[in-house]
Amino acid sequence: MLKRAAFTMIELIFAIVIIGVTVLTVPLMIETNNKALEGNIAQEAIFLVSSVLSTTTALVWDEKSITSTGSADNYVLSKILDVGSVGSTYGRIDAASTLRIGGLREDKHRQFFDYNGAPTAPLQVGEETLVVPLDNSVAAIAGYKQAYTIVAKRVYVSDTIADPFVFSTSADAGQTNLKMTEISINGEDGAVIANLRAYTANIGEVDYAKRSF
């Protein structure tokens, strides 16, 4: 009697079930992996923008904040800029003074620019795209399935004294002593993934003592 090796019906059924489970599972695993990859890319975009936003807090408050302290000196000092009238809440004590109301009458402390007949005012900033430091840093980050766009702006916000003080997120009508830098990360569907803000104040810098000849 001739005997031949063959699969039993049970073995065939098990094989079909295993193949079916594999066919159904692999696409789900790929989709799950892609979603995780997309989430990682979005998180990297948030970390990158957070780093860029932190950089803005190390910059001078305004382009006109920079002034040379003398041709013989090779450093610059950021002074307080005039954003309002003399005697206002954060203004000069008087037109002849470089001292802010509530400031300290001490050498090397934070002061206004010398008046010299006209106050030094900051540049007027509306809801404009931030140029520095985002000009060549980030604009769009390509993900697995979509691109994440970076939208940045810098505006004056209210510096009105209040108790408790609340940081405004709306642009003020005029120049104030407070600027907000806002960076949003948007997906292609327009959904805002993250909205980061940093505030910088018009307080100038403290001069420092130095040896001279």
Using one digit for the tens of pLDDT, what is the confidence trace for 171-196? Answer: 888 888 999 988 888 887 778 888 89
CB distance 127 to 171 below 8 Å:
yes
Residue with tokens 């019906």: 9
- Would you kindly state where each structural domain of the chain is located, as residue ranges? 9-201
Long-range pairs for 89-93 at CB < 8 Å and ≥24 separation? Answer: 89/159, 89/160, 89/161, 90/159, 90/177, 90/202
CB distance 75 to 66 below 8 Å:
no
Q: So what's the pLDDT on residue 36?
A: 66
Residue with tokens 């998180």: 43
| pLDDT tier at 197, thresholds 50, 70, 90 | very high
Q: Is the whole-model pTM more than 0.75?
A: no
Using one digit for the tens of pLDDT, what is the confidence trace for 127-184? Answer: 666 655 554 444 556 665 677 788 888 889 988 888 888 888 888 888 889 999 888 8
Using one digit for the tens of pLDDT, what is the confidence trace for 73-117? Answer: 555 678 899 988 777 888 888 888 888 888 887 777 888 888 776
CA 117, 121, 123, 127 torsion: positive or negative?
Answer: negative
Q: So what's the pLDDT on residue 142?
A: 61
